[in-house]
A and B are shown apart, each in its own frame.
Chain A
Amino acid sequence: MPATGHIRPLLAKEFLDLARNKTALVPVAIVTVLSLALPFGIAIAIPAMTGHALGEDSDLVRVSHMASAADTLSDDGRIQLFLFQQFLMMFLITPVTGAMALASHAIVGEKQARTLEPLLATPLGTFELLTAKVLGALLPTMTISGIGLGLYLAGIALFAAPGVGAAMADMRTFLLVALVAPASALVSLQAAILISSRVNDARTAQQFGALIIIPLAGLMVAQFSGSVWLSSAALALIGLGLLAAWLALTFVSVTLFDRETILTRWR
């Protein structure tokens, strides 16, 4: 069992550093705002402005029946529920996009700032270093996306058709918010940290890191197109699979962290 006592001081440093460099969190704030603006624009504002109710679109009605068993809702309400459930997937991407730059920069950034060698000269272990880096990127961005999610759910309760807010509060939403979102963020960030410890340039790390968005984006598109509907059971399996993948990636990251190469070959 690796020691964990050194994670806290390094994590405190990560938070302090971020607090002094708030612009690093602007991307996650922007993605969060977009994640809020898009669904409310599409499901509430545009129908209100154009005067065309969502229920007038037969395709949307058909798809919404496939996705939801909420028979007590009106057509408009069911379509809103369908759209809000789809856009909930955006909150999977929010923490990942925002934290990606932080995570990709984590190790290579320390090396380039020449702060890594003094750190490695302390009793700090590799697992502790990498865990502090993952949490340092994850927690602030999860906090921001968590605030966004709270606003999202509050907005639904306030502005959506009657019953939509209550229908959103189901196991599927809970699994997405409490399990799949943090698990996918952990996998993405751990992968970014792994990349960051294997390349010698922050830009390269960021470009590799951006590739991690692709499977999440694919999942979103598949859901929107109606070709895939992730049930609660499927989401639970995905969440647990992601957690297992995170543990595996953590092990690989620690194993592949080659402090000698980082110290002696990187310039």
Chain B
Amino acid sequence: MIAARHLTRRFGPRTAVDDVTFEVGRSEIVALLGPNGAGKTTTLRMLAGLIAPTSGSVAIGGVQLTRANGAALRMQIGFLTEAPGLWERLTVRENLRVYAGLYGLADADARIDRVLELFAIADRGNARTVELSKGTRQKAALARTLLHDPTILLLDEPTSGLDPEVTRSVRMLLDERRAAGCSILVSTHNLDEAERLADRVAVLDERLVAIDDPAALRARLTTGRTIVRVAGDPSAYVDAIRSIVGPAVDVAVERSALALQLPHPERQTPAIVAALVAAGAQVLEVRAEMPALEDVYVHLMAADGGGA
């Protein structure tokens, strides 16, 4: 588990990260979402012990990260930087072998074989990294990140610029690492990825704007609108609905559906469906309108005064 407590980082007069507190539990993926300059990379660097917070602290497995124990605690962390950061004249294997040495891994070759297999790039192991595609380089960098079996993964934009197939394989791999007990923090711009991948989403804009699971975040922006689709002309059933909800509820016809602004959708929806059926309507769909995570994000950033 990795925990950030009141993390603040200033660079001269500029505050990059302001009083951020959250934790990533065992077998959990948290997505760090925010616009450019929101402090995502700075937060990851502080968590990895690469830069010190101006105030606040980081704890890894309950142990506070300090300058003195930084090197030892970094053994538990796999940090994927924004750029793959591979030495271009060296092959993938040679790159990984250097890192195996730096982590003091005794069974380096076996581990290298394993991570190359894991990312399906064993056939590219002896290729110089300069010859690799962007996706393969990213896979090699991810392989490097996992080489020492870290219990904490800090990943800065792991799927940035990758094609959908590679993105999917990376996502699957992170799912596997989560199942294996890793604590994973992923910074991303990609809302779809955050929603698919993360157990919780942390929205960052210098400070922590919100952190919750994606469904709960969406619920914050629930419009209370219920959409009812019926066969035929929906306006024919407006009176049937009004007989249930009364005149105070807004009932609008929107293309082939009825949009109802219900104060208590859970209680009122069954009666509405029954009334529609009684009125001879063929009910095709009834659903509560849920905002996309993107809408939530835009709403949160706007409420925070951000420019998203």
Residues of chain A at the chain B interface (Cβ within 8 Å): 3, 5-6, 8-10, 12-13, 16-17, 20-21, 113-125, 259-260, 263-264
26 A-B contacts, Cβ less than 8 Å apart?
A: A6-B102, A9-B100, A12-B97, A17-B90, A20-B90, A114-B81, A114-B83, A115-B85, A115-B87, A116-B85, A117-B50, A117-B85, A118-B85, A118-B144, A121-B50, A121-B81, A122-B102, A122-B103, A123-B71, A123-B74, A123-B75, A123-B104, A259-B50, A260-B50, A260-B52, A264-B42
Is B124 interfacial (CB-CB < 8 Å)?
A: no
Nearest chain A residue, comparing its CB with the CB of B72: A123
B77 / chain A contacts, CB cutoff of 8 Å: 121
Q: In the complex, which residues 80-131 of chain B have their Cβ closer than 8 Å to any Cβ of chain A?
A: 81, 83-90, 94, 97-104, 128
Q: B90 to A13, Cβ gap below 8 A?
A: yes
The 6 closest A-B pairs by CB, nearest first: A9-B101, A20-B89, A114-B83, A121-B79, A123-B71, A118-B85
User: In this complex, what residue of B is CB-closest to A265?
Assistant: B11
**Residues in B neighbouring A118, C-beta threshold 8 A:** 79, 81, 85, 99, 141, 144
A113 touches B87 (CB 8 A): yes
Q: How far is the CB of B7 from chain A (nearest CB, A)?
A: 15
Q: Which residues of B contact A16 (CB under 8 A)?
A: 89-90, 94
Closest to B141 in A: A118
Q: Which residues of B contact A114 (CB under 8 A)?
A: 81, 83-85
Q: How far is the CA of A121 from the CA of B75 in the complex (A)?
A: 9
Q: Which of A9, A125, A260 contacts B97 (CB 8 A)?
A: A9
The reply to whether A263 and B89 contact each other, CB–CB distance below 8 Å, is no
A116→B79 CA distance, assembly (Å):
12
Q: How far is the CA of A263 from the CA of B51 in the complex (A)?
A: 8
Binary CB contact string for chain B from 150 to 192 against chain A (1 if under 8 A, 0 otherwise): 0000000000000000000000000000000000000000000
Q: Which residues of B contact A8 (CB under 8 A)?
A: 101
Q: Is the CB of A13 within 8 A of B52?
A: no
Query: Once the chains bind, are A264 and B11 in contact (CB under 8 Å)?
Result: yes
Residues 140-153 of B, flagged 1 when their CB comes within 8 A of A and 0 if not, give 01001000000000
Given contacts A16-B90, A113-B88, contact A120 B50 (CB under 8 A): yes
7 new A-B contacts at CB < 8 Å, known A121-B48, A121-B77, A123-B103:
A3-B71, A13-B94, A118-B81, A118-B144, A122-B74, A263-B51, A264-B45
C-alpha spacing A116/B87, complex, angstroms: 10
- Alpha-carbon distance between A122 and B100 when the two chains are bound, in angstroms: 10
**Structural contact, B89 and A17, CB atoms closer than 8 A:** yes
Separation of A17 and B86 alpha carbons in the complex (Å):
12
B52 neighbours in A (Cβ, 8 Å): 260
Give the residues in chain A near B86, CB-CB below 8 Å. 115
**Known pairs A20-B89, A117-B81; A12 contacts B98 (CB<8 A):** yes
Residue of B nearest to A9 (CB): B101
Residues of B within 8 A of A9 (CB): 97-102
Q: In the docked arrangement, what's the CA distance between A144 and B124, Å?
A: 34
Are A259 and B81 within 8 A (Cβ)?
no
Q: Report the Cα distance A118→B145, complex, angstroms.
A: 9
With a CB–CB cut-off of 8 A, which chain B residues contact A259?
50-51
Write the chain B residue with the least CB distance to A19: B89
State the Cβ distance, B60 to closest chain A Cβ, in Å.
13
Contacts of A5 in B (CB 8 A): 104
Chain B nearest Cβ from A84, distance in angstroms: 39
A-chain residues with CB within 8 Å of residue B101 when the two chains form the complex:
6, 8-10, 12
Q: Are A264 and B85 in contact (CB under 8 A)?
A: no
Interface string of B47-78 (1 = CB under 8 A from A): 01011100000000000000000011011010
Counting chain B CB atoms within 10 Å of each CB, the highest count among A12, A113, A117, A125 belongs to: A117
A178 to chain B, nearest CB (A): 30
* A115 to B72 CA separation, bound complex (whole angstroms): 21
- List chain A residues, Cβ under 8 A from B75: 123
